[in-house]
Every structure is written in structure tokens, then in C-alpha cells.
Amino acid sequence: MIALLFPGQGSQAAGMGRELADRHPEARQTFIEADDALALKLSSLCFEGPDEQLRLTENTQPAILAVSVAAWRVLEANGLRPAFAAGHSLGEYSAHVAAGTISFEDALRAVRNRGKYMQESVPVGTGAMAAIVGMDLDAVLAVCGQAAQGEVCEPANLNSPEQIVISGHAAAVERAVRLADERGAKRAKLLPVSAPFHCSLMKPAEERLARDLAGVSFGRPAFPVVTNIYARPVEEPESARTALIRQVTGTVKWAASVEWLISQGVGTFIEVGPGKVLCGLMRQIERSKRCLNVEDQNSLEKTLGFVQAAPVASKLA
């Protein structure tokens, strides 16, 4: 069985999607639709940068979504039919577009606003995020609790048994990094992010996004989409909407999501979109599972070569 994995913010790079758009009409059409939906040359931002514009959250999110959907449409045109999909944070929107839960145009507008709302929820410099490697969740929770001192300091991404990302007020997160170092973490470092995502400081963004998503049409997905907040699939439209809203302040339960997919018999994962961040996390979660990726022509050919050589049963839901 195959599951699609869609990356989130941090996977962006100038040049992403260009080769697929040059060589595949499905990808080219995706970028035309994106430019039209946003009245913005998103394609140029993806293909050429500049990096400082691409790094702005309200640009990054629709850009990664567009590249991911372009790559998915090329895979779909080549006959790929997954059993499941999941996406890391922003990637959950890409997964729902692939599954047909929401339209590409609605998703583009939603994530552009999502990025804007997240950035505006907390003044620049007030919040921070940090990655802690080599500490279990109980230890990280203890560190966050001691570091908070009346401020927000919370687990944001449970990425793998090895890696947990925390989020909150800058001073509290900095205290947590020092404590984690003292208590034997393999590594604890601040991340170069523009806002403290996936923590309670994002409540204003969650409320604004909820109003936007209330006006978006949701349908039943063609295949189950595993959500960040539940680490379980949703198949009802309202459940999908609720999960996307709660995700803004909720913890991304990525390791548990992947473990659930493995428990259902998924043996091959395909990271669809820029970068290989999720394949890297897969090696930390379960090294025995194959993780392929599709972001350019070379990776597309390698992935299709494997899928087309595999037994028919593994290609279909």
C-alpha cells in the first residue's frame, strides 16, 4: 500500500516546481491556476525567488501547496492511486486537495490567509521555536513546564521519536533550550522561523481562519487523509474542516500519524513536493519502510520506476 506525504513550511527553495512545469502539462496548468487564483505571479516566486520574498509566510504557504499539487497531478496522470495521504502542518491542505476534499483554488486562498494570520498573531521577535533532539515527550514536557514561568512554552511538532519542536514566547523557548541542554538532549537549538507556530499564541490566527474556512466547500475525500491533530484519518467533510482549524494552535502529531499508517499496512511512502524533510523523519520513525519523493524530473522517474515495477495491489487503495 502507498501513502502520500505532503511537506510543510521550511521545504521551500527558489527553483522548486520549475522542471515539472517545463516538462508536464499537468504541472504547468497547476501554476497557471495558482497565479489566477491569487492574482499573483506565484509561479515566478517558486521558479525564481527571490528567497527573501519566498520566505515570507504568506507567500511560502501557497508556494509549497502549488508545487506539491503540481507534483501530485503528474503522479496522478501516470496512474498512481494511493491508499492514504497525510501532510505536515501546511501539507494537510495539499493532502486534501489531492483527495478532492477541497478545491485547489480555495486551498490557495486559505493558506495565503493562514500564513498572513499566523504572522500577524504575534509581533515579530516575541515568539520562537526550537528543535529538541534526543529527549522523549515526558522530558520535553517537563522542560517546557519549568521554562514557561508564566509564559507560553509548548510542544508544537512531535516529528519523530528523536525530534520534538517546541513553540511559544521567545524568552521561555530560550530557557527551555538551555534546560534541555543541561538535561542531556543530544541537541537543542532555536529555529529560524518568523512566528511561534502550533501553540496557543496562534489563537487569533485560528479564530480568523475559522471564519474563512466556514465559507469553503468541503467534500468527502477520495481516500482518507490522516490529520495532524488526531493522528487518524478523517472522511467526513466537517471533520476535515475542524481538523484544519484546530491544527493552527494544536500539536502536529507527525510520528503518530506515520505509525498509524504503518499499522494499516502502508509499506511505501511518497513525499510529494519540495525537499525530503519527511523522508528524513521517516528514517527516524521506521527505517524499514521505503520513502520515495517527487520534486523534479529525476525523482519523478525514480518513483514511477519503483511503483510501476511493484505488484498491482501495492499501487491501489
Active site positions, annotated: 89, 198
Residue type, 210: A
User: Are 279 and 303 contacting, i.e. CB atoms less than 8 angstroms apart?
Assistant: no
Q: Considering only CA atoms, which of 7, 213, 240 is closest in space to residue 101?
A: 240
State how far the Cα of 56 lies from the Cα of 116, in Å rounded to an integer.
9
Q: Considering only CA atoms, which of 55, 59, 87 is closest in space to residue 71?
A: 87
Q: What are the beta bridge partners of residue 129?
A: 167
